[in-house]
Structure formats: structure tokens, C-alpha cells
Amino acid sequence: MRLVIVSNRLPVTIARNGDEFSFEESVGGLATGLSSYLKSLKSGTGEYSDYLWVGWPGINVKGKKRQEIASRLEHDFSCHPVFLSGETIDKFYHGFCNKTLWPLFHYFPLLTSYDENLWINYIQVNEIFCETLEKILKPGDALWIHDYHLMLLPGMIRKKFHDLPVGFFLHIPFPSFELFRILPGEWRRGILEGLLGSNLVGFHTYDYTQHFLRCVLRILGIENNLGEVIFKGRLVKADTFPMGVNFQKFNESSRRKDVQREMEIFKRAFKDKKTILSVDRLDYTKGIGSRLNGYEEFLNIYPSWRGRVILVLAVVPSRDKIEHYQSMKRQIDERVGEINGRFGSPDWTPVIYSYRYLPEPQLMALYNICDVAMITPLRDGMNLVAKEFVSSKSDLKGVLILSEMAGAANEAGEAVIINPNNVKEIADAIKEALEMPEEEQIRRNQIMQTRLKRYDVFHWAGEFMHSIGSAIEEQKSLEIRLLGEEQKQKMIGDFKIARRRLIFSDYDGTLVAFAEHPLLAKPDERLLNLLKQLTSDPKNDFVLISGRGRDILQKWFGDYRISLVAEHGVWIKKSRGEWKNPKCLSKEWMAKIRPILDVYADRVPGSFVEEKEFSLVWHFRRADPEIASLKAKELMDELVNFTANIDVQVLPGNKVIEVRNAGVNKGDAVRSFVGEGEYDFILALGDDLTDEDMFRSLPTSAYSIRVGLNRSLARFNIQDHTNALDLLEELVR
């Protein structure tokens, strides 16, 4: 099987020298980590033995040159380019990605721009990726899409490839609902629905996963069960996979000759001073300013350290086309100048500052020789630099100072954890780190390294891929009972030859979609025509078996030659007959329960109580989904306790909780109809828990179908009410 990786950028840097192109593998983060994993696939015996990486090559050329670059990428790097024009990439990468999604997802709403044109461009670029993939995907491929640039792509792909395994991983934080909701409605729904095209959506931390699930609930109204969501009839799993680094590579780096050469050079430059390392891309989320403030404060309040310590500040150029990044660069230059001017002396520079990309041996040399790493992002999805620093310490000596706002902080309890907004805290942390006894450093690093070694980047990618497989297995276990074409044709055949046919159907959720208020879920033309056709054949008996009150059923269906069952079997009206109440039921309990439900209706805006003749229902479809979901659990508890000694039952339904007399259920009603005629074809359709009683009471020869993908006693499942109508239409055609 082939694994197709998709990310905004290919892991190859292409440089142009006149008419010639040179190609070099990119290093750092996703590129390095994932590349090692992918290469290991080719030599391994696992499920995937081949890979292809699809993304923007970082260069725009036309005509023959494109072909030349594409075949070189394919041949030498297993990459496939998605070419984008300069203008498109400008609006996409520098636009929606980094002026809207990046700041908002990192909790900088004031820096977020809301430009409809940029959103449209974002959709278009995701479509271009989708079109490219359509041309190259083959049966047996699996797709792993990366990061915030391509959040619409899973949904687009799903429309074209129903069964393709698709995983999505978000490398940045997923913000809390309060932040995410700031996006205009169409954008936020589009992003969530796009992500839900995947089989698996992965995040770095438990919090991000929960934020995502909460947004799915609050914005799309879809609940999750232990991280699993049913979206458009498919199971989608959201889970946490903290990304690791290539531990072994960093841990063994001090043995590399090229790294050792760089270590010697740095050691000479730093002399006998203690060193604090800071490495980041230039970005306002990385908290470089706070770090400089903290360091300045440290020199200010702990003067004995002056002249004995150096801050090695490596800033890597990034997104310098965006104005905000340019001004940030100027501020950093100025702050470094101020600190060096204020404290420096002819033989001591407090901050050694570089603004460039460091070749890998240099970065590894710094990881190896610096005593402390100070990583203080204001917000960071994970932060791999922190993990790389700790992994590099083969002698276990060194201290990591880490912001609590980095995803990595969840796994690095042994680091000196700071709040990046507290200058004094940073200053104290620097002192603590520089003065930490060696045994303590070793003890802490040992624990962190054990974790980093076990959960390295190979483990991370392997576990993610394995989870896509499990999500698909679970999806299949749901689909296995989906009514297939062959079974459907058999059913139609049985229907055609039958002399007497009996069809039971629930109403809400089975023949019509749910509406915000029950009165709005009226039968439409399509359904009424279907009923006319069904009842025009004297061989057919149709029973509408619902939880609704008899008044509304009478109003909507009283004129049809069909039987009606109201309130789950409290009332039964045989076709053309009178309403009858077969059981002697009590109503006394209703006066006691009603006030409890009223309290919930008052407390949960948008919810209301429906009183039927023999049952009470609390409806919460229109309420805030999160509050309602919590309150529904509370109400269930309260009702179950309160009704322990009363002869009633409490039933959770689809956005409702119903209380009704015990001993009344659709099963009894079904039995009374089945016993009446010599039916040689019986079919029952229903969508919720109350319909399970109906399925349970059917003869074994009957066809039973649960609408929706829930586990059920029914023999088959179909996706939704439109499939139910399609099926009934096919029967009578």
C-alpha cells in the first residue's frame, strides 16, 4: 500500500541558478521527522511499503520547466508538486493561512484579518490540491493530510473517494470555542465539515482535541462518544498524538564529526561562559520579546551573573513578507541592542544574536554545548526545539526552561515551567536553571529522555497510521449491516410476490427529518404521494407508529387508509376505525413530574415541555447543545431516582427525554397488528431507542431497518430518512 502525504510545502528546497535548478531536502520539524519515517517504510515489512509526498514546491515555473522539476522530484525524492502562481500563494499562504488562521488559532484575535477574498482563495487552493490528488490517487492508497493550510481538503476528497482512508493532523493549537466562534459562520462550519471528511483527526494535546470536539458540538450540533463523531453517516475519530522527534539522531549527534567541528568553534567563541540557547522561527507566537525582557530582568536583579552568561539568540527568518513580522524583527534588533548596550562590556556580549537559518550541524552543536534552553512561546502547538534539546543531551546535563503555553509542556513536567507573561518568573527560572545541581539535571533529563525515546517521531507516525486503520475498522463494523443492493433486491422481490404486506414505520427521523419544533416537521408532498401509492394497493397495510400525540397524527394522516399508533402505543387507530386506548393507564404521576421538567425548561433556554395525553416530553433540540447535553444527563439522573417507586419509564430519545407509563411500548402495538392478518411480507422502519421494542417484537421472517448508523436489533441499517423514502418508493414502483 502507498501512503500519500499532503502538506502545504514539499520537504525539498529548490533553488534556481539561471536555467539550472538545485534540489535539497529541507530539514527541521515535520520535514525531517516524517521523512525519516517514510524512508523507513520502504525498507520495512509494514502495511505501507511506498510513499509519495504532495505539496507546493516553493517555486513557480511554467511549461517544460514544470515537467523537468516534477520528474526530478518524483524520481529523486518521491514528491509530487502542486504548482501555484505567485499571486495565489501570496493570498493563500501569506493571506488566509497566516493572517487569519495562524493568529486566531494562536489566540491573537486582534491580529486576525477577516477578508472574504482570502477565504475564497483558501477554498480555491484546497480545490487545486484536491484536483491534483484526484489525478494521482490509486486504489489501495491512504492519505495523510497535514496542517492548517489544508483543513478543507479532507471534506473535498471525501466527496470523490468514499472509501479512501484519510487522516488529518493539525500541527498548531486548535483554539477554544470562544476563539473559534469568532470566525464568520460559513468559514467555521466549512472548516469543521472539511476536517470531518477524514477518518481520523489528530492533535498534539488532549486540550486541542477537546476544543475541536466542543466546536463540533456547539457549531454543528454533533455529539461525540469518547472522541467519535458520526458525520454524514460516517464515523470520524478525533484523538491526541503528541508529535515526537528523531530521538536517536539527536542523542547520537555529538558523535558526528561535522557537529564536533561546530562545537569546537562555538566553545572558543563562548569561552568559559554559561550559555542559554534560544532558537525559533521569527514569529510573534514564540515570545522572543518576553524572553529578552526576562533575560534583561535576570541580569538586572542577579548582578553576580553579569559577565558569566551568554544568551545565544538564534532567530530563523520566516514570513518576512507580512508587515507584522517585519516590525517584530525591528523590535528584536532594538531590544538586543539595548540589552547589550546596557550590560555589555568590551570582553562580554550578553546576547549573541543571529538572524539566519542555521545549518543542521550548527544547530546540533548548540543543542549539545548550551547549558540551558529557554523556550518561552506565548502559544505553540507543540515545540520540537524543546524536545530536540533534551534528546541531544547524551550526558544528561542541561536544563530546559519551557513555557506552559507550549504543547510540549504537557509531557515535560521535569522542565522548569514558566508563564511567558511573567518577566520576574522568567528571570528566576534562568537563575534556577543556571544553578541547578548536576544530579538534579541528570535526574530530570533521564525521565524526559525515557519518554522522548519511547514516543519518538516513528512511534508518533506509526501510531497515527494505526489509528486510521482502527477508525476504519470501526466504521466497517457499522457499515457491515448497511442494507446492500443484493439484500434490497431480495426484499423488493419478496414484496412483489407477497399476497399480504404489512409495513410499520416510525415518523420523526424515519420518514421526515427532525425540525427545530415538532410542529414544523410536517409531512411533505413526497411523503404524502408515497402514502397514496402505498394505500392504493389493497395488498398493503401501513401502520404509522409514532411517539406523537393522537391529535396531530389525526390531523396530518386521518384521511389516509392507514393505521395510526400514537404515544408509542397508548392510542391505536386501525385504518378507518376509531381511536382506542387498549390499556388502562394512569395519569396521576404527570402532575408530579411536570414541575421537574418545567424547571429544566426554564433553566435551559430554547428547551420546552410537551404534554401528551399519557406522557411528558422535554425537548431540547433548539437549546445550546452543550448546556442541553449536560442538563439532559442531570435530568435523566433526577428522573430515574424520582420515579423509582412510580410505574413509569424514562426514555432518552433524539434531543428529547420522555416520561411515560411503564408497560407501554411499540412492541405491544406491533404484536396486535401482526396477529391480525396472514401477512407474508412484514417490514418495520424506525430510527430511535423506542423503535427497538418494535424490532424485538417482529417475527423472525420480517425485514427490520434502523435508520441511522446506530447499533440495533434491526436486521439492517440505512443512512437517513431520504434512504427510507427511496426504499419505500422502490417497493411500490
Which residues would be at the binding site for ligand GDG (CB under 6 A)?
A: 27-30, 171-172, 243, 279, 281, 316, 357-358, 360, 363, 380-385, 388
Nearest residue to 420 via CA among 457, 448, 383, 394: 383
Q: Given 380, 506, 508, 687, which residue is catalytic?
A: 506
Tell me the H-state helices in 200-344.
206-220, 247-251, 257-270, 288-301, 323-343
Q: How far is the CB of 108 from ligand GDG (least distance, A)?
A: 13
Per-position DSSP letters for 571-612, written without gaps between them:
EEE-TTS-EE--S----HHHHHHHHHHHHHHHHSTT-EEEE-
3-state helix, strand, coil in the chain (%, to 5): 50, 20, 30
Residues 147, 8: Cα–Cα separation, whole Å: 8
Identify which of residues 34 and 133 has a Cβ nearer to ligand GDG in the complex.
34
Residue 143 · residue 165 · CB < 8 Å = yes
> What angle separates helix 206-220 from helix 185-195, to the nearest 10 degrees?
120
Give the residue with the Cβ less far from ligand GDG, 420 or 549. 420
Q: HSE on the CB side for 342, CA within 13 Å?
A: 15
Of residues 541, 569, 553, the one with CA closest to residue 667: 569
**Nearer CB in complex with ligand GDG: 35/712:** 35
Whole-Å CA distances, 223 to 532, 564, 565, 627, 687 = 37, 32, 30, 12, 17
Cβ atoms of 294 and 377 closer than 8 Å? no
Evaluate the CA torsion angle 83, 84, 85, 86 in order and state its sign: negative
Q: How many C-beta atoms lie closer than 10 Å to residue 18's C-beta?
A: 5
Measured between alpha carbons, how far is 249 from 239 in angstroms, rounded to an integer? 27
Judged by DSSP in three states, 491 sits in: helix
Contact 125, 148 (CB under 8 A): no
272 is known as an active-site residue = no
- Running DSSP on this structure, what letter comes out for residue 122? H
The angle subtended at Cα 604 by Cα 600 and Cα 610, nearest 5°, is 55
Give SS3 for 374.
strand
Q: Is residue 143 a contact partner of residue 166, using CB atoms and an 8 Å limit? A: yes
Q: Maximum distance among all alpha carbons in the chain?
A: 106
What amino acid positions are annotated as catalytic residues? 506
